[in-house]
Structure 1
Amino acid sequence: MDRPQDPKASTEILSWLAQALRALVRTEICIAYAASGTETLHILSPRSLGRKDIHQIVSTLASLESREEAAWEVILLNHRQLGELPEFVSPGLRRVMPIPLSVSGNQIGVLAVATWDELPGPRSFSALKRIATEVGTALQALWSAVARERDKLEAILHNLIDGALLVSERGDILCANQAAVKLVGLRKTTSGWAFPDSQSHPPVLQLLRDAEASHQREFNRIWRWEGNPRQVLGIKGRRIRDAEGRDWGWLVQVRDITQSWYAERFRNDVLSVASHEIHTPLTSMNDAVSLLLEDGTEGLNAKQRHLLELLQRDIARLTGLVERLLDLSRYDWPGYPVERRQYVDVARTLQNAVDSIQHRAARKGLSLVTVINEDLPQVQGDRDRFLQVAQNLLDNAVKFTPVGGLVEVGARRDGNEILVWVRDTGIGIPEEYHEWIFEKFTRLYADDEDEEDQAEGYGLGLSIAKSIVEAWGGRIWVESRPGEGSTFRFTVPLPSAQPEPQAGGTGGDEGLGGSR
């Protein structure tokens, strides 16, 4: 690429050149310009013009371009509409000089300089032509430098394994590598690349529009096609700003994750089946031990009873682990159907989570504080799963906060989302662990953590919470420093419509998994 291909870019260059010439020339001049490949003629004039003046400019440039005068749409910048102009004004334009502009031997447009007076000496039209030519030469050097840098960028992009696209705010594809063309199914047009309209290709443009509508600056989605051949793509998008902080487009990364996705799905299926197979005998064992403890106490000595109680506790621990593994297998793959038909009363559900942890917090002398807006709108989902996420975060906060500390639970509306947080004054988490702690079987240990807490922990709570929140389309993250406590936050998108209030109740919590 050695010259500007986009007529819009050529028009912007000519606009800049017109402003530069007006600044260089001390006398009043009228400037008109049109980019090659466009049907628009822009006229910039400090004085009023008549239709005869417009005709003089258009006819001069039309002869240079070898086109009909009527082929141009005339736009008067900072002036009245063309139909409002008088036929003549005095004084009228005396001279109009056309200047063809080229970059690398390719004409990018034409420019006309007109004046109401003769320009003597150095301000003559020949001087203006020389200035325009020199500016054109400078533009050629500048564009060549830009082209070389773009060629380097394109070389890097084309050698990436992942697909990469730059998309403008209007949805135009500014740049795409070959991997993106193949994975997204881009089609070639006269002006570049365009998104496909087939359902067998990922709806990248729709994902960008959805992200803009929900005011998201980045997104991470998985797209599946069960046709032939089967395909699973991971699609990440991030909004890009210019040096002045203005949004100008999106960087989209597309990766083929078909093999890893189906391998993970197979692993989850095996884990789910195995967990179910283990869960059944554990239930039978627990029932048998419970019967022995309840009905066979007369034939048991103290040691035998103690061993049965230890067995019952171990069975309960294993049952808890199996249930967590089952949760993980359900939410850890994107095909799991997320409950969205019911509505969750966020304030009440969070209060239930606080009530469930109240006894443990009191034993450690912790202060439990709630900052929950009672008029929060409801969210769509599964109440039990929402409660599970909140309880996991509260459980960690109580576990890692020293005696006499504070745990705060809060929730508020944040745009099109509900933001929930759990803050504590505990030991804190080093920054390098902020992502790691959401991985499976990851644990941090508190200095004063008792044996019961250590025995019950499997490092699955945060991983399950992350899977549940992301299945809803939300986000979860931590803000923490060692010695300064931690704040876990998660978001849940709001539905487009709220439910109608139900007669005789609060309307929204019943039937979401049973009363608790």
Structure 2
Amino acid sequence: MTTDHTQNLLELLYRVSREVATVLDLRTVLQRVLIAAIDNVGGERGSIVVMDGHGNPLHSVIVYGQRIQDDTTQQLRATVERGLAGWVVRNRKSALVPDTSLDERWLHRPDDDVEQSGAKAAICVPLIAHEEIVGVMTIVHSMPNAFDNGHLELMQAIADQTGVAILNARLYTESQRQARVMTALAEGAVTINASLQMDDVYHRILNQASQALQVETVALALQEGPGGDFVFHAATGDNAGSIIGKRVPANKGVIGKMVREGRGIVIPALKEKNPFAKGDFFDEIESNVIAVAPIQAQGKIIGVMEAINPISGVFDPDALLVMTGIGSLAGTTIQNAQLFEQVEETQKRYRELFNDSIDPILITDWDGLILEANRKALSLCGYDTNAIRKLKIEEIHVIDWDSVGKEFDYLRDNHTATYEAILQVKDGDGIPVEVYLHNVNFENEQVIQWTFRNITERKALDALRDDLASMIYHDLRSPLSNVISSLDLLDSLLVDKDEATDSLIKIVGRSTARMERLISSLLDISRLETGQPIATQQGHSPKKLVQDAFDAVTPGTETRRQNLYKILPDDLPNIWVDGDMISRVLINLIENSSKFTPIEGNIEVGAKVDGEWLQLWVEDNGIGISSEDRAQIFEKFVRVKGKEKISGLGVGLAFCRLAVEGHGGKIWVDNDYQAGTRININLPIKKNK
């Protein structure tokens, strides 16, 4: 190599280095390198293809003389895959092709035919930086054998000098692209998440996608359940109105391909390879170029976003990445908007039910301040909305704090409380109501809902029933007393009675005595329920009361061959009670045990001292009482459910409870007693003066 040749080569490399060192824009760097190579090597046209880190074509430029051709990457992809450039990349070696018609490495195109430009000469060299192929550069001359090894050496020198510059420009371009993507996604996140109204959310998503991608049309579809069709709900751009409402099966076309692969797809602007071009996708739109990206939420595809026909003719390399990012943002926002719509619809339905309820309903905070009242509450209480909102709930009725707990603590655990009260109205007498209250979510706040059910008619019926019952009981008592007196007189007159007559008179006597106990118990129930105190308490021997009860029930238990037992210590103290009432309590409990105890079963009555109380119990080995029935057997007209139908009105145990509680004692079913039933009562012991 001569000194002049070396000097010229160094000057060339200096000029090339200076040209590419002053810029970082990848496209500008490629243009300057390629023009410098054509000018100094002598080619008529040339190309550079830049590769990414995985060897895929990323960017390219083609120069004809001084004319630069845009958007050539897709055209040069085949050359990189199958042509001379591909061979150079795979072998990491430069190639000199004196005659392209004689070299099988050259990918022949229609313009290589003899009738066209014919055979050519070509040089192709790899662009290497830090042992990585960053691209491949090719120059072509229209005359075969126009290049020799000197041209190849010059071309290789230019490639060696510019490889690092191209790598830096590629990295700079990638960082700029990433910055654009991040900026677009950040702006998209702020814009898309600014609303929860569904129509506004659609509008913001489409506008953001349209601005970021610069396309003619953007459309958005949501899937109707898993595996369902995609239905387009919104669109913007050319012929957007014709898209809305269209349905696309989830397993067909480009959407089906996207669903199967779970990622976005770009259908490039190659009409011969684009099955969706010329109206195949939307009848009203010539869809030359399409990008499809999934809309995802919680890892599932819930919709799809379509970008159709970029204004520039092709999508930028980062278009799919931007679309996928916007789709992910859109998925979360759409799901939130759907949930918001559901909440709004639920609250709307709740408010409709609230206002249309036939019962008065009030909403208060946890301090009792009234926040809302439905129409029925306003009508019944006589206040308008503004006036009732100034009141506290305790101003219109007396709260039963035992039912709701201190500061409504019982309601905070999602419990429901109920009690009866008098609702105070603005003008007029109070109204008896049944109050139901529990905590609810009202306009995104936890509040208390009070429902007042007017029970005026029920109270009137209860009073009428009680008055009627009391009247009947009194009217029955008088003739029954006459029957009992007549029976006693008849018994005394019949001195020489035979056995049959005596037995008949005793049966009638026991029956009338039972009727008298029942009437007395019903009258006691009526008095005790109204809160009248027991005024006839005296000291009574529990042994005598138990024996009296045994005498009354023995005929019935003997008929069933049941065994009665007493466990009564000798030193039992007297109890301070109404003797007749407690005797009837014991008779009721023993007769109740007898009903549910089998033939030849056992019934035991016992007593023991428990502090200031005497505990009596009645125990049997009968069918027992279920845990569900134990809580209510002492209520009026409640009867234990069993296989056998047992006669009775269901008032005996109710009378026992009222009688015992009227003495200040208590009555309960022993929960630990497994076989049969044991009922306990506590009664006060007579105090010595």
**Interval containing the TM-score (normalised by the shorter chain):** 0.3 to 0.5
Q: What's the TM-score once normalised by structure 1's chain length?
A: 0.45
Q: Which has the higher contact order (CA 8 A, sep 6+)?
A: 1
Structure of larger gyration radius: 2
Q: What's the TM-score once normalised by structure 2's chain length?
A: 0.36
